[in-house]
Amino acid sequence: MQYLQHTLLCWVQKQDLQIRKMKLITEEVASVKFITEGKGAKKKMYIEGVFLQGEIKNRNGRMYPLNTLSREVNRYNESFVNKGRALGELGHPDGPTVNLDRVSHKIVSLRQEGNNFVGKAQLLETPMGKIAKSLISEGVTLGVSSRGVGSLKEDRSGMKVVGEDFMLATAADIVADPSAPDAFVSGIMEGKEWVWEGGSLREQLLEKTQKRINTLVDQKALEEHKLGLFQNFLSNL
C-alpha cells in the first residue's frame, strides 16, 4: 500500500513539474469612452481608451513589466486583432476562454503609447452586444476589464509582479461599475488555478488528484480506486 501511494504521488508530482501553473488575472479600467461613427445603416458604436498599463502599481496591487505587456500585445495583435478574431464578452467570465454566446464586441486595434496600450473595440449586433448598446444609450456607466493568465511574484514592497509567462486572453471585456472594489470578482475568478500544457489551458486538476489520493490512503481504499483516479485525470488532459 505504501509503495503504491509513493508511486502514484511521484507520478502526480512529475506531471506537476512539466506544466506551468497560472492564475486568472483581470484588471478593470474606467477611463474609456463610447463613441459612434457613421450614420444610418452604417452607424457603428465603439469603445476606446486605455485597456492595459505597464510599469505602474494598479489598484489591485499588481504591476505588469512593460516588456511582458509589449511582447504579449504584439502576439495578441498578430494572432487575433489582425485576423478579426479578437473578441470580448459582456460581464465577468470565470475562465480564460472566450465564450462565443456571450461575445459583445470585437477589438479592432490595440497600440502602445508609452506605458499604456490604447484599444478600440466595435460593439457587435450579437445579443450581448445589443444589451451593451442599450445600457450605454440609457446612460449606464460601463468600463472594460482585461483578462489573462499568468504567475504572480511578490516583491519586497508587497507589490505583486506579473510573470513573464503572462498570456492575454482578451484585451477588454465590458463590465459594469468598474470603479467598485473587485475583491468579490477576485475571490471567484482568481481563486482558480489554470495550467498551460501542450498549447492549451485547463483548470488545475493535479492538486485535486493528490488530495483525493491522500484521502483514499487514510481510508485504506487506494487500491480499489487507483484505476479510477488515473482515468479521471487522463480524461481531463
HEC sequence for the chain: CHHHHHHHHHHHHHHHHCCEEEEEEEEEECCEEEEEECCHHHCEEEEEEEEEECCCCCCCCEECCHHHHHHHHHHHHHHHHCCCCCEEEECCCCCCCCCHHHEEEEEEEEEEECCEEEEEEEECCCHHHHHHHHHHHCCCCEEEEEEEEECEEECCCCCEEECCCCEEEEEEEEEECCCCCCHHHHHHHCCCEEEEECCEEEECCHHHHHHHHHHHHHCCCHHHHHHHHHHHHHHCC
d(CA 144, CA 171): 9
pLDDT tier, 36 (very low <50, low <70, confident <90, very high otherwise)? very high
Q: What average pLDDT does range 110-127 have in this prediction?
A: 96
145 is catalytic: yes
What pLDDT was estimated at residue 214? 56
Give the amino acid at 139.
Answer: G
Which of 92, 104, 105, 146 is catalytic? The answer is 92
d(CA 136, CA 78): 30
More confident residue, 236 or 96: 96
| Highest mean pLDDT: which range of 30-34, 55-59, 127-131, 157-161 | 127-131
What pLDDT was estimated at residue 182? 36
186 is catalytic: no
pLDDT tier, 114 (very low <50, low <70, confident <90, very high otherwise)? very high
The domain spans of the chain are 2-17+204-235, 22-191
pLDDT tier, 215 (very low <50, low <70, confident <90, very high otherwise)? low
Q: Is 224 left (phi over 0), alpha (psi -120 to 50) or beta?
A: alpha
Which of 104, 105, 145, 146 is catalytic? The answer is 145
Mean pLDDT of the chain: 78
Q: Is 118's pLDDT higher than 60?
A: yes
What pLDDT was estimated at residue 160? 94
Q: What average pLDDT does range 115-133 have in this prediction?
A: 95
Of the candidate ranges 89-98, 100-109, 223-232, the one whose mean pLDDT is the lowest: 223-232
Of the candidate ranges 10-14, 70-74, 149-153, the one whose mean pLDDT is the lowest: 10-14
More confident residue, 7 or 77: 77
What does residue 18 show for φ and ψ, rounded to 5 degrees?
A: -90, 0
Report the alpha-carbon angle 111-69-101, nearest 5. 75
**Which of 177-207 are b and which e, b meaning 16 or more Cβ less than 10 Å from the residue's Cβ?**
ebeeebeebeeebbeeebbbeeeebbebbbe
Please report, rounded to a whole number, the percentage of residues in the chain having pLDDT higher than 70. Answer: 66
pTM of the model: 0.72
Residue recorded with cell 451593451:
132
- Cα 157 to Cα 63, 115, 154, 183, distances in angstroms: 12, 21, 8, 21
pLDDT tier, 169 (very low <50, low <70, confident <90, very high otherwise)? very high
What pLDDT was estimated at residue 29? 82
| Highest mean pLDDT: which range of 82-86, 133-137, 181-185, 197-201 | 82-86
d(CA 220, CA 216): 6
* Residue 131, CA atoms < 13 Å, CB-side half-sphere: 13
Of the candidate ranges 93-97, 133-137, 169-173, 193-197, the one whose mean pLDDT is the lowest: 193-197
d(CA 7, CA 29): 48
pLDDT tier, 192 (very low <50, low <70, confident <90, very high otherwise)? low
